[in-house]
Structure 1
Amino acid sequence: MGKNIAIIMGGFSSEHDISVKSARVVKKHLNAKKFNSFLIHITKEKWVHLEENGAESPVDRNDFSIQHKNQKIIFDCVFNAIHGTPGEDGILAAYFELLGIPHTSCNAYQAGLTFNKRDLLSVLKPYGIHCANSFYLNKGDNIKPEEIIAKVGLPCFVKANRAGSSFGISKVYKISELSSAIENSFKEDDEILIESFLDGTEVSVGVIQMKGQTKVLPITEIVSENDFFDYEAKYLGQSQEITPARISEERRINVSTLAKKIYETLQLKGYSRSEFIFVGNVPYLLEVNTTPGLTEESILPQQAAEAGISLSELFESAIEAAIP
């Protein structure tokens, strides 16, 4: 008898469509002999089980169960494929933890922390993790462009604090561009982060749990055809994602060791994908993603393939790590 797996997708953010694509890839590759998988679409308007024929049936939110073929389905595990809120920020993790349902992402506190770039960097700095100089703004704050630029310099990046897939991010070259960049970021979140520009090689490092061990995957080098690794570069083919990265052995060891340290220091579970930029041979942390993209073209699956791990094995590893 296979285990019942709910693959949750959708969410409330601009990353909704990317999440749906990730979830469908997970369902396609999960071993059907071991798992009975069900697509659960979560939006602000509804929580529904999406049948193969496109029909929808409601989810009972009291116990996160569904009715399927005249039977009540209780899930053995939830596979979290929601990028952004409420899947990546800990809201649903807390709900599943209250219900006692295992899930593939990290626990609620860690999810909330990693989703909040400002808080994450503040927590990690005492552990010797390098990051860019930064300036924080909340919606309604009095904006003083000269004060901001004096701290972070030009060019700089203006980012939504709690958003992914490069939504709400701008690269600013002139002080006159700062106000419109801040306004753009506030469309995604009411907290923003302004960071100094780091000129160096950008890499992405995946860390997973497999057979009870923390495993660092081969590193991906990011070479954007655009000014930075923005949405078009990530999802519309306007970048090169080179795995394994063309970096020295010293750099490989430094960033792999650091990615694992971050994973273990924060007591993460499931997948993480951390982004870094090298300044010399020192990796500077940009962010940590705990619900990374899982399509065939996404970075983490590329890294798994380079390590000889199939998508079926990659997805199964998360479920095995989640179920006690």
Structure 2
Amino acid sequence: MKHIAIIMGGYSSEYEISLKSGNVVYNNLDQSKYKGYRVHIFTEKWVYVDDNDNEFPIDKNDFSVTVNGSKITFDAVFNAIHGTPGEDGLMQAYFELLNLPQTSCNYYQAALTFNKRDLLSVLKPYGIKSATSYYLNQGDEINEEEILEKVGLPCFVKPNKSGSSFGISKVKTKDELAIAIVNAYKEDNEIIIESFLDGTEVSVGVINYKGKVTVLPITEIVSENDFFDYEAKYLGKSQEITPARISEEIANKVRVVAKKSYEILKMTGFSRSEFILVNGEPFMLEMNTIPGLTTESLIPQQAREAGISLEELFTNAIELALKK
């Protein structure tokens, strides 16, 4: 019986969603193979939480926990932290130093994909298309004329490193730009301002399944709101249609680009990439390496459509980590 620590929580606005994802993993582990431990990672404490909500501190020297006098060490870590420190490379680097297998990609891939600006810059020479963008670091002079001349209206203002659509605004008039920038700076000290891509939004998971890079069925996202924001993602203000209502020809283009991106970056574990289809061509918005695993999240929906149960999905992730 392997002991698996499921890390959840984190230091960002996404911690509540991460706790949900982590609990879904915990409740769907194959109990004939694994004993799961819920480990909450917060700035103020790292603790193992048992089924009665008792908390036991994690020893950061070796990521072990002592329960009623006996020390427990883990065979592998299932990473379910969205945002920092689980999705940006910090936990990955820590576990690599401890030589402890974990289910997500390596620290370099995590740091790179978490930074939208750097991710899109690395993929661009390989022909992966993205929106026209303008970058700001906190403290930079804000030249509204220059920004709008480059990206046009409407445009999107996003924190460069955050998830779950926190801090994102769709800007329709010049007057809204300054407010949107302030809003984005609340989440991050770097901002990406992108031209509006008018087209169908799709999301696609790519995983290594049983040793083979596998593209999951594509989901089409139809948001009731102006874009796929927090409400649309988590509060039911969107329709997510899997498989997407797109032609086989366009679907194939998306699959090729999603798989190519995964392989160029030497990804392992889960990834979920978002694209806007403009005149049949996929433009990448971002790639998530710790995608939501709640029952309403996209990867579980796509896996279901592919005939993969949550238990199989999680077993596969753990087994691949153990083989690493």
**TM beyond 0.5:** yes
Equivalents in 2 of 1:259, 1:59: separation in Å?
37
Unaligned runs of 5+ residues in structure 1 are: none
> When the two structures are aligned, how many residues end up with a matched partner?
323
TM alignment of 1:79-98, pairs within 5 A = 79-98=78-97
Deviations 1:126-174 (A, max 9, x none): 0000000000001111001010000000000000000000001000001
Give secondary structure in 2 for the equivalent of 1:194. Answer: strand
Equivalents in 2 of 1:221, 1:81: separation in Å?
24
The aligned counterpart of 1:175 is 174
Deviations 1:262-308 (A, max 9, x none): 00100111100000001111100000000000011100000000000
The aligned counterpart of 1:296 is 295
TM alignment of 1:252-271, pairs within 5 A = 252-271=251-270
The aligned counterpart of 1:161 is 160
Identity of aligned residues (%): 67
**CA apart distance, 1:259:** 0.4
**CA apart distance, 1:68:** 2.8
The aligned counterpart of 2:25 is 26
Deviations 1:48-83 (A, max 9, x none): 000110010000000000113432111111000000
* TM-score (norm. length: structure 2): 0.99
Amino acid at match of 2:206: V
Deviations 1:193-218 (A, max 9, x none): 00000000000000111111111000
Give secondary structure in 2 for the equivalent of 1:33. Answer: coil
The aligned counterpart of 2:271 is 272
Equivalents in 2 of 1:251, 1:77: separation in Å?
38
Equivalents in 2 of 1:236, 1:69: separation in Å?
40
TM alignment of 1:190-269, pairs within 5 A = 190-269=189-268
The aligned counterpart of 2:147 is 148
Equivalents in 2 of 1:258, 1:179: separation in Å?
34
Give secondary structure in 2 for the equivalent of 1:316. Answer: helix
Alignment pair present for 1:49 and 2:43: no
Equivalents in 2 of 1:271, 1:190: separation in Å?
27
Q: How well do the aligned residues superpose, as a CA RMSD in angstroms? A: 0.6
State the 4+ residue runs in structure 1 displaced beyond 6 angstroms: none
Equivalents in 2 of 1:107, 1:31: separation in Å?
25
Deviations 1:2-33 (A, max 9, x none): 10100000000000000000000000000111
Most deviating of 63-72 and 263-272? 63-72
The aligned counterpart of 1:3 is 2
Amino acid at match of 2:269: G
Amino acid at match of 1:55: N
**CA apart distance, 1:309:** 0.4
Amino acid at match of 2:265: L
The aligned counterpart of 2:184 is 185
Equivalents in 1 of 2:239, 2:206: separation in Å?
21
Unaligned runs of 5+ residues in structure 2 are: none
Give secondary structure in 1 for the equivalent of 2:202. Answer: strand
Equivalents in 2 of 1:114, 1:203: separation in Å?
18
